[in-house]
C-alpha cells in the first residue's frame, strides 16, 4: 500500500472510530468554537468548504488534497496522520 493510501485509510478509520464513540464530527452554528479545520485528510468530493482550487464544498478532486479541509472537533486533527491545522502556503 503506498503512503497516500495509508494516510487516507488512517484518517478514515479515525473518523469512523470517533463516530462510533458518539463524537460529533460536524458542527452546528452554535458549536463552531469547538471545531477546527483539518487540512489534507478529506476524501475526494467530501471537503467542507471551498479550496484554493475549487469554489464550493464537496468539489475537491483528490483524496488528501492539501488545501481541502473538513471540520472536526478540536484536538482531533492532530491525531490523524497527515492532518494539518494550517492551510498550505499559496503560490
Q: CA-CA distance, 48 to 68, in Å (whole number)?
A: 8
Q: Is the pTM of this model over 0.85?
A: no
Q: Which residues pair with 22 in a beta bridge?
A: none
| Percent of all residues in the chain with a pLDDT value above 90, rounded to a whole number | 31
Q: Does any domain span residue 53?
A: yes
What phi and psi values does residue 56 have, to the nearest 5 degrees? -135, 160
74: confidence class by pLDDT, cuts 50, 70, 90: very high
| pLDDT per residue as tens digits for the range 30-73 | 456 799 999 999 998 888 887 777 778 888 888 998 888 999 99
Q: Does any domain span residue 84?
A: no
Residues 6+ apart with CB under 8 A from 14: 76, 79, 80
Q: What is the CA radius of gyration of the chain?
A: 13
Our count of domains for the chain comes to 1
Q: Does any domain span residue 69?
A: yes
- Domain, as residue range, for 33: 3-79
Q: Does any domain span residue 22?
A: yes
Q: Does any domain span residue 91?
A: no
38 in Cβ contact with 76 (< 8 Å): yes
Amino acid at each position: 500500500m503506498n503512503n497516500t493510501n495509508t494516510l487516507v485509510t488512517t484518517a478514515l478509520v479515525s473518523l469512523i472510530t470517533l463516530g462510533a464513540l458518539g463524537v460529533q464530527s460536524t458542527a452546528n452554528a452554535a458549536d463552531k468554537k469547538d471545531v477546527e479545520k483539518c487540512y489534507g485528510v478529506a476524501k475526494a468530493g467530501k471537503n467542507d468548504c471551498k479550496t484554493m482550487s475549487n469554489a464550493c464544498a464537496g468539489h475537491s478532486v483528490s483524496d488528501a488534497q492539501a488545501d481541502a479541509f473538513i471540520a472536526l472537533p478540536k484536538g482531533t486533527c492532530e491525531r490523524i496522520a497527515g492532518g494539518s491545522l494550517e492551510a498550505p502556503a499559496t503560490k
